Structure 1
Amino acid sequence: MKKQNGMPVVVLMCLGIFICMLDSTIMNITLPAIQEDLHTTLETSSWMLNVYTMAIAVLAIPMARFADLFGKHKFFMAGLVVFGLGSVLCGLSDSGTDLIVFRFVQGIGAACLIPCSMVIGVSAVPLEKRAVPLTLLGATQGLATALGPTIGGIITQNLSWHWVFYVNVPICLGGLIASFYILDLKHETRVKAAIDWIGVLLCGIAIFSLNLVLIKGFGWGWASLRAIVCYAVFALAFVLFLRFERKNKSPMIQLKLFKDRVFVGSIVTVLVGFLFIIAVMVLMPQFLTLYQGKSEFQAALLVTPISATVFVFSNAAGLLIKKIGYALPISFGFLLLSIPYFMMRNLNVQSSSGQVIVICVLVGLGFSFLIAGATMASASSFVSEMLTSSQSVFSMIRQIGILLSVAIFVSALNHNIESKKLDVVQYASAQTAQLNVSPEEQERISKTMEQTILLGGKLSKESIEDVLEQSAADQPVTAFAQSDTQNSIAAYVSDIAGYAQKTVGSSFSVLYTFALPFVLLSMLIGLIFRRPKPRASVSEAGASEN
């Protein structure tokens, strides 16, 4: 089969989108295991997540231009090769730095795959049937994003975190083999397209400086000199980027895209939608594993309802949007998303699995409306190169949403956790003073506890006991030698561990409390779609016949 058109092509493009979006969240639930194995900090972990999305955000548009030059089908296959190679290297990483570098390689492959998959998929069926691939591609994005932690948890629990990356290799190989049979590699049309390297550079500088200050802002201080420099660099790069794009004959971004209100609505929706769903996908697995004591597999099962709900309701949401327009469904999607955010205000270590499941179902339901509407609207009325450009920009904005979410929520969580740990240290110090042991022993235990709390990840009773026992191992005579003191220490450790889990675990609920008003305000995004019903050329956007 060498036909360019048809559902087999759409399914193959869904596979390309699936592995790229899967890897934007598959690491979320494995981060504690990676941190422990590679001895990395939460901040380093955020770079492991962000470098992938940064690469896609910056490179998706120039890679789409390369695809126009050399052929989208061939470039899709090149993307599979680079993505597969990056996945192998990620799995072989033995340091946090290596993993960051090889995640960037993965990101380059994804930057090739995502825009090509969208344009080839939309172009694969006749004009009157293009709502079908748009809906399927949108559902695949949402499903893969939501399914990432589930797959990551199952793999980590049964194999190791390395296999979170190795699993991509057979998928990429299968995609390559299918491409030879499904895609027309000999007769695809190429276009003349210049690469806007200055635009790429300015865009990269702007995104990096913004990401840097969002990650480091709590530690530096938001009004510190380094933060101000980042603000200035971002603003300058952004202004220069816009000025250069207006004058450039082959700009990185076709600014006339933004004259279409439906397209503007689509990128605002996908930006904000991914900002809020990634905040749940990244943080919830860490909360379940670190503070509720769940295994990776148990945490994966608890967040699975997000992916299941997206899978079930995305297509239905797409059909509804086709009938009544974008405005109401998208506003309704944000309203639904605000309900789990309201529920997460009370998230704590005593929260039941049932509560977590309800939260995840509602998150998936709300996001179904957002991803279906945004994907359908992104095609708008564009054809030919404008369709390619629109999908490249849409991919870039989506990745910026993921990038901002990780930077904002992970850095804020890191700040909250460090602050809460200081509270635990003060509480532990007060409790240590009440132990019936010698002053020397109190001082040793107090110092050991402080180091354990400030540097430890999972503050469980078992982990604290292990550290105390190791600390006491070199003592010739210790408090552990007496049964009464052993009981006292055991009660003390249990008390500190319980207080630590409760106090530090509350760091998560604070974030969702703060975010709730912004989720509600996002309902106003629906007003951007002023047309009550999508135009046929929007929901069934034309594309170039390659």
Structure 2
Amino acid sequence: MSMRVRRIFSFTAIVLGFFMALLDTTIINIALPEMTRHFGGTVSQISWIMNGYNLAFAVFILTASRLADQFGRKRVFLIGVLLFTVTSLLAGLAPSLGVLILLRVLQGLAGAIIVPVTIPLTTTTFPKEMHGLIIGIWGAISGVAAASGPALGGVITQQLNWQWIFFVNVPLGVLSIVLTALFIQESRDDSAGRSVDVGGTLGITGAMFFITYALIKVQDFGWNSRVILLLLALGILFLIFFSFSQRKGREPMLPLSLLRIRTFNGASLTMIIVGAALMNISLLTSFFLTRMMGMTELKAGLVLSMIAVGSIVSSAISGPLSAKYGSHLFAAGGVLIMAGAAYSLSGLQADSALADVLVRLVAMGLGTGLTMAPVMSSAVRNVPEEKVGIASGITNMSKALGSVIGVAIIVTVLQQQTDNNLHTAGNRAVQAVKEDQVLQPFIKPVLIAAITSLGQGEHGSDGKADGDEVFTEVMAKTKLAAATLSPAEQQAFAADSGNQFREAGQLLSQAAAGLQGAAVHAFSRTFVCASLLMLPGILFALLSDKRPKRQKETLLEAESSAI
């Protein structure tokens, strides 16, 4: 068998493994409502199907990178894919919500093992002159995996059922295991030693656990609660302990020489912004499409797939070219486009045309592709070759942490904006009822109660409700209230009931429109906030690489520092 064919099979094995792991960070989100119907439970409990995976992924990824460098990347990769495949099969068969959450945590651990190993496996499979091209392709596929999750999840859930979101991983995992065993050679970092850095492992595991868990739970407790502040404080203490252990340890898991490489630091910070941006836009847009525009989960998922389409196009261009011309300009331009696309999403209305949504999401995808592939390429191109594994782990951990940070911030902003806007719109509608000169006094409390329930989302989400259903309820309660009136008052109401119900219907319609407009405005302000959060990424991206003629000098400097 020719070397070219062996490399193709090897790369296929690698791609199958990390595509599954990255896909499962987002593919599950669109199926959560269906899982709620199947298992029951509260929204907070169901969210741990997603949070459990992300928490385990963020906590273990750096440790997995180090262990792979020490004990063999092929061996660790096989363990990760096998664990991922088995837990996927069992997750599809899970008898209860608790069991499913536990399996998702184990899946997250498997994903943390798989993802950071893929780049060093790739670089040892292909000759050095092909690294730029291959890593560019790797970055493109990783962007597609992250962006296409909602669409694939929607299609699978609609056409089959939510269990198949897990079952589809089984044949892919088996194929990856077979190809890896047959065609990939073992590799490791010979300078990493064989002793496990216990202090570093405990430090980074504790730091990532407490920080990530705090960011997940901030939606329940709030930023100022003692619980969140305590968790963040513990995370910082573990981070300080980790830093100390890396400085004093004989064989630290994190070579401090990496942190002296400006381009590597810039790439890692950029990936935090990219992780937050992708999660924020995916989350906000999916909620807007389903709640404000009334789309089904399937249609919303297909619409969101336009991010993946845009990412495929720009990744195919930026990945290979960035290796030749440098990554920093591509990445900075990509972050700028992402921020602009997020800002443009703030202009959407509940009745916006589908084309308006698609154009904005394609732009978001173009920016994602221009950023992710070049930055990932730069992160491993500007470090010593034997440190590619741990470098990949850090950048992937940065992206995972960015996703969690982004959700914590943006959900808080959306909730605050929604509460404030709906409260203002509800008060305005109630005041209009109180000042109305047509309605008889006994009807006003009934109508005010209906408007209050609309504002609290009891008949719909964020002010978008079934107007006919609410009006029917108002009519029924008005008739019950009329039965308690005196005979003269009942006679007066019966004579003018048509006019009374017509006026009540108009006021209710105005209130519903005002509440929906307020909810749309809340989303608009949150999209603006999301775009502003991306702006620091432009500076980080500019620092993520140097011009090609200086890259060799940077690598030599890093190798000298390591020595």
- Please confirm whether the aligned pair reaches a TM-score higher than 0.5, indicating the same fold: yes
**Is the partner of 2:251 in helix, strand or coil?**
coil
- Letter of the 2:518 partner, please give it: T
- Specify the SS of the correspondent of 1:6: helix
Higher relative contact order (CA 8 A, sep 6+): 1
- TM-fit CA distance, 1:190: 9.0
For 1:190 and 1:264, how far apart are their aligned partners in 2?
21
CA distance in 2, matches of 1:129, 1:459: 51
- Bigger drift between 283-292 and 83-92 goes to 83-92
Distance change in 2, residues 1:418/1:537 (3 Å): same
Q: What corresponds to 2:516 in structure 1?
A: 501
**Unmatched tracts of structure 2, length 5 or more:** 484-493
Q: Give distance in 1, aligned partners of 2:155 and 2:291.
A: 17
The 1:37–1:286 alpha-carbon spacing in structure 2 relative to 1, beyond 3 Å, is: farther
Change (3 A) 1:356 1:131: same
Give me the whole-angstrom Cα distance separating, in 2, the residues matched to 1:535 and 1:106. 37
Q: Which residue of 2 aligns with 1:201?
A: 202
Q: Secondary structure at the match of 2:456?
A: helix
Aligned to 1:276: 277
Q: Map of 1:12-27 to 2, 5 A cutoff?
A: 12-27=13-28
Cα distance per residue 1:144-172 (max 9 Å; x no partner) = 11111111222233333343333323322
Instruction: Select between 338-347 and 145-154 the one with higher mean Cα deviation.
Output: 338-347
Spell out the pairing of 1:298-317 with structure 2 (5 A cutoff).
298-317=299-318
Q: Which residue does the alignment assign to 2:135?
A: 134
Q: Which moved more, 1:47-56 or 1:90-99?
A: 90-99
Whether the 8 Å CA contact 1:18–1:144 is kept in 2: the answer is yes
Residue type at the aligned position of 1:364: G
Counterpart residue number, 2:169: 168
1:535 aligns with 2:551: yes
Change (3 A) 1:173 1:460: farther
**In terms of mean alpha carbon deviation, does 262-271 or 88-97 score higher?**
88-97
**Greater shift in the superposed pair: 369-378 or 206-215:** 206-215
- Counting only pairs closer than 5 Å after superposition, residues 381-392 of structure 1 correspond to structure 2 as 381-382=382-383, 385-392=386-393
Report the CA distance shift for 1:26/1:221 in structure 2 as closer, same or farther (over 3 A). closer
1:355 alignment partner in structure 2: 356
User: Could you say which residue in structure 2 is the equivalent of 1:517?
Assistant: 532
Residue 393 of structure 1 corresponds to: 394
Rg larger in structure: 2
Write out per-residue CA displacement over residues 34-93 of structure 1, whole angstroms, 9 at most, x where no aligned residue.
456555666556544333222122211222333345532233222223223333444455
Residue 461 (structure 2) aligns with? 458
5 Å-filtered alignment, 1:285-434, equals: 285-382=286-383, 385-423=386-424, 425-426=426-427, 429-430=430-431
Q: Verify the 8 A CA contact 2:271 2:396 in the aligned structure 1.
A: no
Q: CA, structure 1 residues 380+197, in 2 after alignment: closer, same or farther (shift >3 Å)?
A: same
RMSD of the TM alignment (CA)?
Answer: 3.8
Unaligned runs of 5+ in 1: none
CA distance in 1, matches of 2:466, 2:235: 43
Whole-Å Cα distance in 2 between the matches of residues 89 and 423 of structure 1? 48
Partner amino acid, structure 2, of 1:354:
A
Change (3 A) 1:418 1:35: farther
TM-score (norm 2): 0.82
Q: Check 1:390–1:221 CA distance in 2 against 1; reply closer, same or farther (3 A cut).
A: closer
Question: Aligned partners of 2:277, 2:386: CA distance in 1, in Å?
Answer: 31
Per the alignment, residue 28 of structure 1 pairs with: 29
Residues 498 and 165 of structure 1: CA distance in aligned 2, closer, same or farther (over 3 Å): farther
In structure 1, give the amino acid aligned to 2:551.
Answer: R
Q: Which moved more, 1:487-496 or 1:142-151?
A: 487-496
Conserved 8 A contact 1:267-1:394: yes
Tell me: CA distance 1:217–1:323, structure 2 relative to 1, closer, same or farther (3 Å). same
* CA distances 1:485-533 after superposition (whole Å, capped 9, x unpaired): 8767765665444333322232222122123334334322244246322
The one-character-per-residue Cα deviations of 1:213-232 (angstroms, maximum 9, x if unpaired) are 44555765544444443443
Deviating more after overlay: 427-436 vs 242-251: 427-436
Tell me if structure 1 keeps the 8 A contact 2:189–2:386: no
Give the TM-score of the pair, scaled to structure 1: 0.85
- After alignment, is 285-294 or 114-123 more displaced? 114-123
The 8 Å contact of residues 377 and 538 in structure 1, kept in 2 or not, is answered as no
